Chains A and B, each alone.
Chain A
Amino acid sequence: MQDAERIAAQAVERHRREPSQLLQILVETQDGIGHLPAASLTRIADLLDLPRSRVEGVAGFYSFLYTEPVGRYRILFSDNIIDRMLGSRGLMESLCRRLEVAPGEVSAGGAASVDTTSCTGMGDQGPAILVNGLAVTRLDEGRVERIASLVRAGTPLVEWPAEYFRVDDNIRRRGALLGEDFVPGAALQAAMARGRQGWLEEMRISGLRGRGGAGFTTAVKWLACRDAPGTDKVVVCNADEGEPGTFKDRVLLASQAERIFEGMTLAAWATGARQGLLYLRGEYRYLLKHLRAVLALRRAVGLLGARILGEGGFDFDIDIHLGAGAYVCGEETALLESLEGKRGTPRIRPPFPVTHGYLGRPTVVNNVETLAKTTLIALQGGAAFAATGTPQSTGTKLLSISGDCAYPGVYEYPFGVTIEHVLEDCGAHDPQVVQVGGASGVTIAGHEFHRRIAFEDVPTAGAFMVFDGRRDPFEMARNFVHFFAHESCGFCTPCRVGTALLKGYMDKLASGKGAKMDLADIEWLDRLLKNASHCGLGSSAPNPVIDTLIKFRPAYERRLVSLDFKPAFDLDAALETARRMTGRDDPAAHLDWREEV
């Protein structure tokens, strides 16, 4: 334990005993120990002068932080419906069998633990896993067999085949953003030549709206932050791409990091911010080294730091914060809490981040793609940018396409493209359902394929999951409901309890115990979640259920075994312990659940 305390203390010192760095300190402490023993939390709390209970509260919040020992190899299977369609469940069983470990547990001797995790953003090259936080793609039986022997042999990850960790960009269609070369600094020079006000004006003309899903006008956000009282403004890049089925930000971070950081700097030029933070989801940790290298390069050539491009008073630099497995942190105020080293609980709004954001300072929070797009506006001007897309949805949109199609990957389209057009391009042969916008998005049935990707029709943060005739829309919705129940922060009653209840009803139907009354209860829960939730996670959690109940109702109805009522639990199984304890197996020792009441 003394080792644990020493490692914890070193992490605290590296972060200059700064309480807002708590999450980073916990991540690094765990890197050194394998998990977070109770003594390490006590030590961290002492050194940061925080109540230990608060440190424990943060450590308990994030999926990738462990307060109990885990395997030396922590293997997490991405559990999105797309990974499942690619066979992830069978592969996980196979690996568990080979490693002699049950899901969610640690193998004898502590070599390995195997479990599931929310979508890791590799839908175009799954099934995917994380091994000690690093992404492994294109899993198949051969890789599982090899990984099992590497684990058994205790081979360090650096000696595993590099091919396993290869993550492809799979860019299939290039538009303005992905199609043009970018010279670092060029966009910044163009924007600076226009002056701060002139640059904001170009942003206004562009009509750029946030690509994270909500679609708020970026220039309005920047202007509000610029005009907010306070001189210590902050620009935050939201790279917590957690929406199941989305991976376009991962591709941008890997291939367009210069544009992203330049976009942040452009936001700083507009707002007067001096500090920038990029919040990188824990699943994309493997990109950290690359991103830090790009930052160092930009500092070296005067694109970050003091007097950017020689401009007096234009000082701006960027830090990267690592997330630790919490989808809710994609919500901008939860993300700010997490950046401050707290539990990722969404804040009450108003006040909004533009006036009271990171540490109470005026803060702009923009999505990765949004920031990258600002470089196009700086280079071409707002009017040229607005010439693409639709009047309400200007420019292009990146789609992360996965599922039942020949060419999964990232596609850049002008806004307004029809869903059927996209389906044709990606080689979807028998599409029955498209889930646009991820688990929280819209379920599109065949009769709607003429609809358009645009804020005013089918809005999306970028996920586009294709399901063909072999798939069951109910199982898709159930997978998403499990996702939301797992990711609910638990702050508000409707989401904390409602997602757990909804999961119970969906599992009841799946296990063949569904009754007509359950559908009414499901619809009632849908309504409560939608109306009463604190943030977007809760209010959009029922979306896949609402949509599939409307558009694929038979998928639910054919699971019903009663038009009235059935218990959710197996009555006969509930007697099993008593049968075992008494050694009885006579007819009276059983209950027939099918008996009509």
Chain B
Amino acid sequence: MSDSIGMPRVRVATTSLAGCFGCHMSFLDMDERLFELVKVVEFDRSPLTDIKHCGPCDIGLIEGGVCNAENVHVLREFRRNCKTLVAVGACAINGGLPAQRNHLDLGDCLQQVYVKRDGIEEGGVPDDPELPLLLDRVHPIHEVVRVDYFIPGCPPSGEAIWKFLTDLIGGRTPRLAHPLLRFD
């Protein structure tokens, strides 16, 4: 990455919706390149900063699909604030593992888990307003907001994320080719 002294740093926000934080772990797998990255990047909302709400940003990285109402709010907040929104990982791109429930009826799922399961005595579906309600299906994020780029992988490698971000920050249309482009 080029010398960036005097250049305003690129503001990046990250979050995980219906994901496992594996993509964030992979982000950390950039290892010593993280030092390179922070020379040109500053973080807004992200598990790395603990900032609770996203402000105006250049790039938003979204891990995970959309499985509940809170996911929708967070995703919309990112879309409102980020000039470029990137879907990171299988779940953000096609729903991934959480979307394996999509051919099941949500009502049956909740019944099975909270009411009928062996060992549950006074069962009941949790109704605390603090808990976000589940959508009847899990959706990739591009079915809920407009998405500009996609980094596939479960998770994408640190190498792939690095290549993608350096392309993007360097003003090149990001492109992942074999073997960085992977779906597994």
Contacts and interface: CB of A to CB of B under 8 A. Distances in A.
Contacts of B79: 597
A211 B126 CA distance: 67
A590 B146 CA distance: 21
A571 B72 CA distance: 9
Nearest to A515: B146
B69 A575 contact: yes
A579 interface: yes
A590 B125 CA distance: 17
B133 A578 contact: yes
A581 B136 CA distance: 11
Interface SS majority for chain B? mixed
B143 A569 contact: yes
A353 to B, nearest CB: 42
Contacts of A350: none
Contacts of B132: 588
Nearest to B129: A586
Contacts of B136: 574-578
B135 to A, nearest CB: 4
B161 to A, nearest CB: 24
B107 interface: yes
B80 interface: yes
Contacts of B110: 577-578, 581
Given A568-B143, A569-B143, A575 B127 contact: no
A579 B132 CA distance: 10
Q: Could you say which of A575, A581, A588 has the most chain B C-beta atoms within 10 Å of its C-beta?
A: A581
A569 B107 CA distance: 19
Interface in B101-137: 105-107, 110-111, 125-127, 129, 132-137
A519 to B, nearest CB: 14
Given A586-B129, A597-B79, A591 B72 contact: yes
Contact of B133 (A517, A568, A584, A595): A584
B129 A574 contact: no
Contact of A575 (B76, B111, B133): B133
Q: Could you say which of B125, B135, B139 has the most chain A C-beta atoms within 10 Å of its C-beta?
A: B135
Interface string B136-163: 1101000111100000000000000000
A591 B69 contact: yes
Contact of B146 (A564, A589, A596): A564
Interface in A547-572: 564-565, 567-569, 571
A579 to B, nearest CB: 6
Interface string A415-455: 00000000000000000000000000000000000000000
A310 interface: no
Contacts of A597: 76, 79-80, 145-146
A595 B77 CA distance: 11
Given A575-B134, A584-B127, 6 more contacts: A569-B139, A574-B136, A575-B69, A577-B106, A582-B127, A597-B146
5 contacts: A575-B134, A581-B111, A584-B129, A588-B133, A597-B146
Interface of B: 69, 72, 76, 79-80, 105-107, 110-111, 125-127, 129, 132-137, 139, 143-146
Q: Which 7 residue pairs across A and B have the least CB separation, nearest first?
A: A565-B146, A578-B133, A582-B127, A574-B135, A597-B79, A577-B106, A597-B76
